[in-house]
Structure 1
Amino acid sequence: MSEERDERIGALARVSARLASIEWYCAGLLLCAVFGLLLLNVVTRSLGSPLIWVDELAIYVMIWAALIGASIGIRNRNHISMTLLTDMMPAKCRRALLIGVDVALLVFFGIFGVILWNWFDPVGVLSAGSVETFSQQSFNFIYQEPTTTIGMRKVWFLLILPVFFLCGAIHAWANLVARLRSGEVEG
């Protein structure tokens, strides 16, 4: 039984590590895209023909990069934190507090997941039969609201939220399991 449990814990850590490597690659591509969009914006403005949609697209791409980066930060446990109090605590208290932080992060992702489920309401969309009917019945226009200048539906850009939820929750769960198993005390 213990070997099976160790294998599952190892599998979770491997999934988290593999996911983080994919996230690093995606975040790098997205940041290159932001740079390219901003450069395009500078060039077109200097030529007197600005592309007004470039600013909005750069913002959405940057949001995607930021949320993917936040997920990587959760995986690596390298978000900004105040450690003055925890550094002065005995090891057992510090470990308990850090486990509490990991649990609080999982609670956050649980609440975030419920909010996303209610907002995107995939069951409601499927049962309504069409996006238009869903919007009329629920007054939820997430699937129909257009971007200001790009001309696409915002939902395509909002899909980063469920991606962040899924990736961040996997990393947070893997971190909690690793901390519980190893007895590590470092933050």
Structure 2
Amino acid sequence: MIDQAITSAPVIAPYRVITGASNRLLAVERLAIMGLMFLLTGLILVNVVTRYTGFPIYWIDESAVYSVVWLTFIGASAMTRLRLDFSVTMLTERLPPGPMKIAKVISTGAVVAFGLALAAMCWLWMDPVGIARAGFDAREFAGDSFNFLYTERTQTLNWPTWVLYLILPIFAVSMTIHGAANILEDLELVPKAALPGFRLSDIDAVN
């Protein structure tokens, strides 16, 4: 009876893990996008009111800029999973179903390759191993490697710039996961997932 129970238990294939991670990540990105849009709107309104009353807050402009940066990268990652990224279909729409499927897989594979390359670049740039070897001493790390990432601070917020630059490796990893999930769907290894909360994903003429 135990052997029968083990045999009948569902097997979790690796591609299910990838698509599940992508869908959960997309749900987090949806909340992040909503929060950043709310934050950006609030910052702009406060900036307008304070400037109109003659008491401008000097750090709001920089806050709004970094909010837009994070919103852009997180939105771009979500658009990758939703297949709302830009695509040129002048050639692929004239191909038979077989070559069209291959072209779509190649296109999505290029997205994954770009995400992996960006992740590798961020690893070399941020050098977490190097900063750890320096005992997380930014000045010592900068003196040894001439990498001043961890010593720089923003102009008005006076925040460490590396904290704000974290969006780059986050974007690289999330885009890679979404691209891998899209490839699995293109290869028909998994059914196309329904993505609640994103009705725009059913728009025609997108990638």
TM-score by length of 2: 0.83
Corresponding position of 1:111: 117
Deviation at 1:155, TM superposition (A): 1.1
1:163 correspondence with 2:170: yes
1:149 correspondence with 2:141: no
Alignment deviations for residues 113-133 of structure 1 (CA, whole Å, 9 cap, x no partner): 110001100001011221110
The amino acid of 1:23's aligned partner reads: E
Unaligned runs of 5+ in 1: none
Corresponding position of 2:21: 15
**C-alpha distance in 2, partners of 1:104/1:80?**
13
**C-alpha distance in 1, partners of 2:116/2:85?**
20
The amino acid of 1:134's aligned partner reads: F
Deviation at 1:81, TM superposition (A): 1.4
1:128 correspondence with 2:139: no
Corresponding position of 1:56: 62
List 4+ stretches of structure 1 deviating above 2 A. 181-184
Corresponding residue SS for 1:84: coil
Corresponding residue SS for 2:154: coil
Q: Please identify the structure whose Cα radius of gyration is greater.
A: 2
Corresponding position of 1:98: 104
Alignment deviations for residues 29-71 of structure 1 (CA, whole Å, 9 cap, x no partner): 0011000001110011011111121011101011111111111
The amino acid of 2:153's aligned partner reads: P
The amino acid of 2:124's aligned partner reads: N
Corresponding residue SS for 1:181: coil
Deviation at 1:11, TM superposition (A): 2.2
Corresponding position of 2:74: 68
Deviation at 1:27, TM superposition (A): 0.7
The amino acid of 2:172's aligned partner reads: F
Higher share in helix? 1
TM-score by length of 1: 0.92
Unaligned runs of 5+ in 2: 1-9, 193-205
1:86 correspondence with 2:92: yes
The amino acid of 1:21's aligned partner reads: A
Corresponding residue SS for 1:151: coil
The amino acid of 1:181's aligned partner reads: E
**C-alpha distance in 1, partners of 2:54/2:93?**
56
RMSD over aligned Cα atoms:
1.7
Corresponding position of 1:180: 187
Count of residues in correspondence between the two structures: 183
**C-alpha distance in 2, partners of 1:100/1:33?**
37
Identity %: 33
